[in-house]
Chains A and B, each alone.
Chain A
Amino acid sequence: MKRQMVLRVVGKLFIPYMLLFALYVQFHGDFGPGGGFQAGVIAAAAIIFYALIFGLPAARRLAPDPIVEAMVALGVLLFAGVGVAGIVLGGNYLDYFVLDGDPVAGQHRGIFWVEAGVGITVTGVMLKIFYMFAGRGRSLDER
């Protein structure tokens, strides 16, 4: 689909805004609908969109497999790390109250990092799934 002019132009226009929207959904999750799950899927969708238009190899250069896999792991570690931080600071596992002197601020801080972890992992997982299916058999380029 690389030769489709319309798609390439529209894609180039859309993809930055999709990523931006993902960030918005990620960080606005504290106050409105949103959060790491949705943001992660949107971010991954942007890259999948890129892969559909410019081909899988191009997407793999943009987000190489090792990085994607590391994202899966790091996101989970971040999530769990917040939990462990709660124990280190004298609370229970996943205890956000102790993350800051002010319990409400602590809740904010806790959920922020947890959602960041979720976002990273979900992006990684969606991409990984996409790569795994797309990488089998004929590549998208040859279609």
Chain B
Amino acid sequence: MSAAGLIAASLLVPAAGAAGIALAGRWPNLRESVTLVTAVTLLGCVLGLLPSVLDGGRPQLFVLEMLPGIALGFRVEPLGMLFALVASGLWIVNSVYSIGYMRGNDEEHQTRFYVCFALALAATMGIAFSANLLTLFLFYEMLTLVTWPLVTHHGDAEARAGGRTYLGVLLGTSILLLLPAMIATWSVAGTLEFLPGGLLRDAGLSNPALGGLLALYMFGIGKAALMPVHRWLPAAMVAPTPVSALLHAVAVVKAGVFTVVKVIVYVFGVETLAEVRAADWLPVVAGFTILAASVVALRSNNLKRRLAYSTVSQLSYVVLAAAVLVPISIAAAAFHIAAHALGKITLFFAAGAIYTAAHKTEVSQLDGIGRRMPWTMAAFTVGALSLIGIPPCVGFVSKWLMLQGVFAAELWSVAGVLLASTVLNAAYFLPIVYVAFFKAPNGELHGEAPLPMVIALSATAVGTVALFFLPELPLALARSVAGL
């Protein structure tokens, strides 16, 4: 199949899968098989594109004319490739996990769940491969809308309230800030195509204008969860755990930081921003978000909430790395997208497994649970270590790259933030590991979660470690983003 055909297939396979799932809705086994087949096919399509991207090729596909001069267009570059690989690869694992979770908890509306999930993946692929800001925006909004039914899956008052916050913040920021920012860019530059070096490079904007535009973008991309537009992420935790795992640890939030990196690299241009010093405020906001979110996570007793705030903080790592504006830190930002995805999905898988097997949601209930669910808590430990940044987990690699960037830019305060946050990370993760393994168990007897879930969380935990030893592929893609 040609490269353009593979791009089209990456978008159409999950969409067609969604239709197939809807049709197979009455036969659960067939429906889940369709999901798995779709997920594997999607990964195949993405992998099919990988060799040419690694060789420096940029496969592209342009179809409809969305506005005069801007097509609905796709162009695969290393950053998008990395994001697509992470999302599509983890979708397979997550589908296995979902089968265990949804059946283990007797959830309702399972067909709707799988349909929306497939559509969310289609939207994610669209974001990853988009060739211009408008196409990206289209799929960005689509991702918000198709994940809303997943967030409000339970349909009760709590889910509705969470759904309103989710939709209100994400749609609100994107329409209120991101859209005007895009239109202003269009008005100034006359195009929205992603250009190496930045499409605003020759627009000749001075510092206040450029800084203001950057602010519109950064806060407009609500999915990146910079404070104060992070509220949707904890609100989204009312969703079933597989949703939190894949979407709110990987696809949706990574779509946010992916867009941030795209905007900084391809819209503004790293050199332009560094020259004009228009992004000087960004490390401050990102650093504040990292520390403040970590503190909130530390004080949260609900496990998923703690993980959500940890995500808020980890997302700002990516923004912070991108805002340092030296090539190695851009590579670090790109690499952290993959690294955090693996670690955080493992943690969420573990949280969902605990909920399914023991119906426990609070950190304070986890005494001794490691003895009843050794596999789950071992995986949890690996994920936690990765997020703290301790070898031999992949999180260490991205932190190492970030520190390299910080030293290159000689931003010592940023180095301080990174160190402080590492301490905070350890402070909110390690106690969980401690009580799980070293305190006496209490309450009723229960074993491990259903087998598919254990397989899934073990797989991602193994991946977390494996990527530490074999980081060549993501590292190559990340370095190529930064032009190294």
Chains A and B directly touch (beta carbon < 8 Å):
no
Q: A residues within 8 Å of B by Cβ?
A: none
